[in-house]
Every structure is written in structure tokens, then in C-alpha cells.
Amino acid sequence: MELTITQPDDWHLHLRDSDLLQAVVPHSASTFKRAIVMPNLKPPVTTTAAAITYRESIMKALPSGTSFDPLMTLYLTDKTQPDEIRLARESGVVYAVKLYPAGATTNSQDGVTDLFGKCLPALEEMVRQNMPLLVHGEVTDPSIDVFDREKIFIDTVLQPLIQRLPQLKVVMEHITTMDAVNFVESCKEGSVGATVTPQHLLLNRNALFQGGLQPHNYCLPVLKREMHREAIVKAVTSGSKKFFLGTDSAPHERSRKESSCGCAGIYSAPVALSLYAKVFDEAGALDKLEAFTSFNGPDFYGLPRNSSKITLKKYPWKVPDVFSFSFGEIVPMFAGETLQWQPLN
């Protein structure tokens, strides 16, 4: 069995830099036409000039003949100025601004500490420039249970933000809970959307602990209860236009995952489209896969849909145990397991 769809885009991707960038960008470029590239490097991509430089590095790392188009983002800080938002829009290469609450995830220490007190002028300029705000939707108060941080963020930050700036386009990134599903569904279409990862569609929090600690299933936001996974699957396979593909593929060298303080992030780029197809196939909703992977994202961002196509074939194939590079190894999601769908490159 084969399934041909419009070539998808990845609306949430980490490409890192230096050796990691060189290693991982071919995996994304082989499947996806475009990708929103996250800015949480060291140092973070806080200016348009830095975004342009980072994009040039990505383009140099691409295999020859690749038409992959990286869509750049700025890292919002307490010091981001409206002039920088205008420069970003005028650049033609920056498509969004990312909100990391300080301390929420990898390299987020430079993130926002006071959204309404320090970032409002930049947010108001984003409304004027029609520049989406991409939100890592978790509070970072250490007294709040890690499994409740998305819900609390919705109640205390996201709801008030949208009430204050109803014209601001917002993407709630990598949603993990029924609460997030309900919130996105309650918002006006075209104003608030959500990206959904393969791990939050296929795994619940048991996957962190079965057979011992499983560092390669550890990501932020952390995996949640089965009822939340089921709610997310139901939402994305319903045909709703508010949800779209964002892998949150986040590579780390194996020794940084399998350590006394393992890094958060799941490397899904080589298997992501196969895993999304698995979800929709098992839900009896393959007819809705193309909209989720290829239409809803560009429609939300106001970009043209891709004209190129990609074909997936249904036949058993084994995911590699590791990908080896000169600097070490990266373990992919579902390493060593057999999947049933594979893109034909």
C-alpha cells in the first residue's frame, strides 16, 4: 500500500549548531520542505542579524540539491524591542518569535521572566507586524508539579495574554494535555493553533519508567497520563484545522542523554513522518493525515502550501539503533523497533 501526500513542513524543529547541525539537518531535509527552526542556541538567537547568520549556517550544512527552506525565529527576552520585531518582519527570513519562560527547557535561561511587565511593547509590535508568538506553555515555579505546569500556564499566562492582545497570533507548541486541547479548540480558528509531536501522540508517562529509566523518552514538556495522550490523538485525527505537525525533534549526543543529569529532548526527525502515519492509520484516519502534516501549518502562518509531493509505502522496516558521527552517537525515537510506514525518498 502506498499513500501520496503534499510534502509536509515541520513547524517546530531544533537543528542545534556546529557538529550537531551538520549531522541532523539531512534527516529533516529529506522529508520536510520547510521548518520553523527554534532559536535556543548558546548564545540564543535574539536578533534578526543573528537569525540571518544562523540561517546561512543551516544552508551550508544542507546536502547538495536539497530545496529545504529553514524559517527562522527570534528568542524573546525581557529586552526585546519593537524595532527588532520590525527588522525581523522586513528581513523576509524570520517568521515568528519564541517565548521560553526562563528555565523551562534546554537553553532557556535567557528566557522571559515578566511577560506583561517587560515584553508588552514587543508583543504589541508583533500584532502590528502579524508576527506569530510561539509559546513553550509551561510555568517554571519549582513548587508547581511538573505534570501540572502546562495547565497552570494556560490559566495564568496564556488566557490573560489572549484577552489582552486578542489580535496576537499564538501557537501553543508541543501540547501535552487535554487542557491544552480544550483551550485551543475554544479559541477562534486562525488566532490560536498548536503543534503536536510524535511522542505526545504515541507515548504516555509510563514510557519513561518501563524496564528502568528511559532517558531517550525524556523531553520537555514531559510525557503525561494516557487520558491526555488519547485526547491529543482524538483532536489531531478529527480533521480540525487548529492542530499541525511540529516534531520538536531535539538531538543530543548519546552520552548527554545517558548521564547522571540527562538532557531533555527526543530525536524524531528520521522517523517522524512514519510515526505520524502510524497514529492516523491506527485511528482509521489516514484520509486526514495530509491536512495535519501539510495544510494546517502553512494556512495558519499565511504561507502557500507546498506543490511537491511525497509518497509513503506501508511495509515493515527497522529503525536504526543509533546514528553514528565523528563526535559520538544520537539515538532516534523508537530505536531498534519495527515501523510499518516509510517515506520513499
Mean pLDDT by 10 residues, the chain (345 residues): 97 97 98 97 96 98 96 97 98 97 81 93 98 96 95 97 97 98 96 98 98 97 98 98 98 97 97 98 98 98 98 98 97 98 91
Q: Which of 9, 14, 216, 252 is catalytic?
A: 14
Q: Which of 33, 98, 169, 252 is catalytic?
A: 98
Which pLDDT score is estimated for 105? 81
Taking the C-alpha atoms of residue 48 and residue 51, their distance in angstroms, rounded to an integer, is 5
Matching CATH number, 2-344, of 1.20.140.160, 3.20.20.140, 3.40.220.10, 1.10.150.80: 3.20.20.140
CB atoms within 10 A of CB 41: 20
The Cα angle at residue 32 between residues 46 and 289, in degrees rounded to 5: 115
**Cβ-contact 219, 249 below 8 angstroms:** no
Taking the C-alpha atoms of residue 47 and residue 84, their distance in angstroms, rounded to an integer, is 7
Is 174 annotated in the active site? Answer: yes
Residue 187 vs residues 1, 26, 108, 180, 242: alpha-carbon distances, Å: 38, 36, 27, 11, 9
Which pLDDT score is estimated for 107? 73
Which pLDDT score is estimated for 104? 79
Burial 191-204 (b: 16+ CB within 10 A, else e): ebbbbbbbbbbbbb
Which pLDDT score is estimated for 138? 95
Which pLDDT score is estimated for 102? 84
Which pLDDT score is estimated for 217? 98
Of the candidates 2, 7, 35, which has an alpha carbon nearest to the alpha carbon of residue 268?
A: 35
Which pLDDT score is estimated for 108? 78
Is 155 annotated in the active site? Answer: no
Q: Which of 136, 169, 242, 252 is catalytic?
A: 136
Which pLDDT score is estimated for 103? 79
Q: Which of 27, 151, 169, 174 is catalytic?
A: 174
Instruction: Find the radius of gyration of the CA atoms of the chain.
Output: 19
Which pLDDT score is estimated for 48? 98
Stated pTM of the model = 0.97
Q: Residue ranges per domain, the chain?
A: 2-344
Is 252 annotated in the active site? Answer: no
Is 200 annotated in the active site? Answer: no
